[in-house]
Copies of this chain bind each other. A is one copy, B any other.
């Protein structure tokens, strides 16, 4: 039997250290906000070089498990921000050449469920925020850039009103890619009015806590996205692009 390890199975020390600390945060042994030992302290405790600790901390910082105050050396345990992870999923979808059709199918599952859930759980503040969005949308019907931003905001507000982080995290990377290309189509078709009618109906159903009506209108609205795409003679099988920021 050979004593040599298969090189593929050898994990760099810094990664093992990063994973050890990550696991302690995930298991709750270290709570978010807890002060971590210094680099020197960690090196001694874990029996590795200080440079290994430094690399492990870079990885943990990058992944949101460790934060430090600007310009300070003190390290704190932290919770990764779901928005940062979502951006990576968005990137992965672009690199894997996911098509608009795939995105559409996912949104057709998620958005009506989100609307129903929002109708169930929304409070007065959610309804007011939606109203502010509608007011701005009415004024932006001829400005396709503003209309895009307001459309994305409307759907994000509905998602926020669900109080459901699983639905929010599932739809975040998809909606990032879904709405921008479509609005280009919508503006060509001059479909702002039609979008507004749907948003108004969804808003009133959420306000009235009418789950069934909220779901049905959102379903119609997402079907409209597909029809618009087809009416503009665009190919649903085209891979999506990274949105311009």
Cβ of A167 and Cβ of B95 under 8 Å apart? no
Which of chain A's residues 88-106 have a Cβ closer than 8 Å to chain B?
88-89, 91-96, 98, 102-103, 105-106
Instruction: Tell me the number of copies of this protein.
Output: 2
Chain A interface (Cβ < 8 Å from any Cβ of B)? 6-8, 10, 14-15, 18, 22, 25-27, 32, 55, 58-59, 62-63, 70-71, 79-82, 85-86, 88-89, 91-96, 98, 102-103, 105-106, 108-110, 112-114, 117, 162, 164-167, 169-171, 173-174, 242
Q: Contacts A7-B70, A58-B14 hold; do A92 and B79 have CB atoms under 8 A apart?
A: yes
In the assembled complex, the Cα of A102 lies from the Cα of B112 at a distance in Å of 15
Cβ of B82 and Cβ of A167 under 8 Å apart? no
Cβ of B165 and Cβ of A93 under 8 Å apart? yes
The residues of B that contact A93 with a CB separation of less than 8 Å are: 165-166, 169
The residues of B that contact A171 with a CB separation of less than 8 Å are: 170
Shortest beta-carbon distance from A119 to chain B in Å: 13
The residues of B that contact A94 with a CB separation of less than 8 Å are: 26
In the assembled complex, the Cα of A90 lies from the Cα of B116 at a distance in Å of 24
Out of B63, B110, B242, which one reaches A109, CB within 8 Å?
Answer: B110
Shortest beta-carbon distance from A61 to chain B in Å: 9
Determine chain A's interface SS by DSSP, over half rule: helix
Cβ of B165 and Cβ of A102 under 8 Å apart? yes
Cβ of A170 and Cβ of B62 under 8 Å apart? no
Cβ of A62 and Cβ of B26 under 8 Å apart? no
Cβ of A166 and Cβ of B102 under 8 Å apart? yes
The residues of B that contact A59 with a CB separation of less than 8 Å are: 58-59, 62
Of all chain B residues, the one with the shortest Cβ separation from A104 is B166
Cβ of A170 and Cβ of B14 under 8 Å apart? no
Shortest beta-carbon distance from A90 to chain B in Å: 9
Cβ of A169 and Cβ of B113 under 8 Å apart? no
Shortest beta-carbon distance from A18 to chain B in Å: 8
In the assembled complex, the Cα of A242 lies from the Cα of B94 at a distance in Å of 29
Cβ of A166 and Cβ of B105 under 8 Å apart? yes
Cβ of B79 and Cβ of A63 under 8 Å apart? no
